[in-house]
Structure 1
């Protein structure tokens, strides 16, 4: 290669490197990656030099803060899709814009026993304080829509196997287990189950939550004094603003363009719910808009912003003087529970919501919260695929 040709190659390359370094220098560092759901590395400090891990941290920093990183990732995903791939990152992108996760692995017997034992111990604490205990297993999209996966996908029954083994290790003398998975599979066909879930998110939608809630209440009616539930009194309304950005689609850099409805199911005559945040010592009354559908005015709406109750505080209490029952219920929950909050408040005079992921500011463990609560009923409400990770959050 002569010098002239070398210049034609070297000079554009050097200009590109300098341009990237310049953009990297003037660009504001990002704190998180929405598509990867993780914090991004920040510029190393002098302390890192002293610890002799500056080089590694700088490499991670440069990689995470590389200019147009998210845009390049999105472009790469689009190219993969155009080339006919249906599995991108850890997701299957299927017909009619359905996005499904890679099936979960089988949990070890030891892990499942440990998770069950933690629930058994907490249930014993609840029983000692005269509280009835339920465990409601909410059906994850993965185990309800297996028919959408490509043929020969491995591990399609792993989630069900995990849930059933976990269920077998729970103390049946202490806990009433409500298996909504089984009810959905027996009650709805494949096409009907599709209507209960978001296409691009891992949650059920408001319709699915309502059907799951009906299963819970029909089971609870067998042992609780809850009568005269008029299911005809419930209607569906849709949010007609914003664009729903599902969690799976978020991780795919919004690769799938699907205009999904955000449905809510609620009683025709909405009750006068009262909202209180509780820090373990005192209650502070708040406004509904501080806790319910807090981000529905944004252009892109995530599941949490559409439904989430109580994410703004450690413990949320919803009180309803006109509830069908004068009992109080404490729900230890994950995000699947969120669209059912008003529904529970129609049935119980007080609903207490606790998400173990957001109790770090409390001076109470989950066991202490249960013992401290004046609720008559304790319900653990976790989805049937990720229940282990949620139970691991319990301190």
Structure 2
């Protein structure tokens, strides 16, 4: 009797295993069919990034292993229902007590904080050497460096319990020491720390807010000895209340959290300097520093200047002959409106997309000052600055 029962239980277990195996095979087939039937996407609006496309099959790609890595990224990016699975994973991680996803911490008070990046030491040295060599070439031109700390540095109290990050203050000290007296260091760190209780960083995005950019401009004004009496009085105005930024897209956290974006506008438009923004590569001119069409899109921060471009030539009616070369990342986009009162021309170069001769810009546009403006994470991982400045 006991043997018969054991035999029956064994048979039942075998049947159950077969059913589970069959269900697994059926699910795999369904997933494969759905993936094949689903058209590849070029861009994820939710993650706000371009998605990996199917890589071309080449012998060299297979031999180097590059094709396999690209194909793995392609399958991951184009997996059917990816947005749903990413959101589901984030929720499961939260339930399990995990507070970090794709390099983003889920902090207190709905704050998402990008982890502090570890420097690419070799590339960083090349960039700093190129900057110093560039400085030597133009000894008579004032040059400034403003490196903006990231939120995880300034607002470390928002980080989840026991979160460990790189020491960004130490990174900045090494960069400042390396540049020495070649560049005047703009101390924005202390300014931001004084205002850390205010909304100087977005909750769901890696950028500083327009208020943070305003405090950054104040630090610039002191370091660059700008005559602030020339600047018109400005007030902040909210242009949207539905911003959900890139850190939310990257991590899957706080996807339902929305926050405002402000711009600072002059009290008196008649006396404020007028601008013409020339997008050189796209051969497009506008009379505004803001692209309000971006407020209808996912990346609403692109409101400032319309996003990032290789080079912008901004002409103003400011009563001055000074001309600024601004070498930057996207943190500078929300600072530029504060600077137009001080320069007849601002040439904005983003090395990530720029391939022309920077020496021609210096000569042709009669540059009187140069400002490098980056956030810390972008600068320590940048692989473009040295190439643009050396122009070999």
TM-score scaled to structure 2, two decimals?
0.82
- Partner residue of 1:298? 296
Query: 1:25-50 CA deviation, whole Å, 9 max, x = no partner?
Result: 111012355649564251654x4599
Query: 1:108-155 CA deviation, whole Å, 9 max, x = no partner?
Result: 5x665443222111122233xx42211122232222111222354333
Q: 1:26 aligns with which of 37, 40, 51?
A: 37
Post-superposition offset of 1:11: 4.0
- Partner residue of 1:42? 54
When the two chains are superposed, the root-mean-square deviation of aligned CA atoms in Å is 3.1
Q: 2:94 aligns with which of 74, 81, 86?
A: 81
Q: 2:314 aligns with which of 290, 301, 318?
A: 318
CA distance in 2, matches of 1:132, 1:261: 36
CA distance in 2, matches of 1:382, 1:391: 13
CA distance in 2, matches of 1:76, 1:175: 46
CA distance in 1, matches of 2:380, 2:96: 36
| Count of residue pairs brought into register by the alignment | 370
Post-superposition offset of 1:297: 3.6
SS in 1 for 2:265: strand
Where structure 1 has 5 or more consecutive residues not aligned to the other structure, the ranges are: none
TM-score scaled to structure 1, two decimals?
0.82
SS in 2 for 1:380: strand
Q: 1:358 aligns with which of 329, 353, 359?
A: 353
- Partner residue of 1:278? 280
Where structure 2 has 5 or more consecutive residues not aligned to the other structure, the ranges are: 1-10, 388-392
CA distance in 2, matches of 1:10, 1:152: 42
Q: 1:211 aligns with which of 210, 215, 218?
A: 215
Post-superposition offset of 1:300: 3.1
SS in 2 for 1:136: strand
- Partner residue of 1:181? 189
Post-superposition offset of 1:219: 1.9
Query: 1:226-270 CA deviation, whole Å, 9 max, x = no partner?
Result: 352457x110000136x2121211102354422211011232234
SS in 1 for 2:236: strand
Post-superposition offset of 1:18: 2.3
- Partner residue of 1:154? 164
- Partner residue of 2:265? 266
* 1:200 equivalent in alignment to 2:211: no
- Partner residue of 1:307? 304
- Partner residue of 1:381? 373
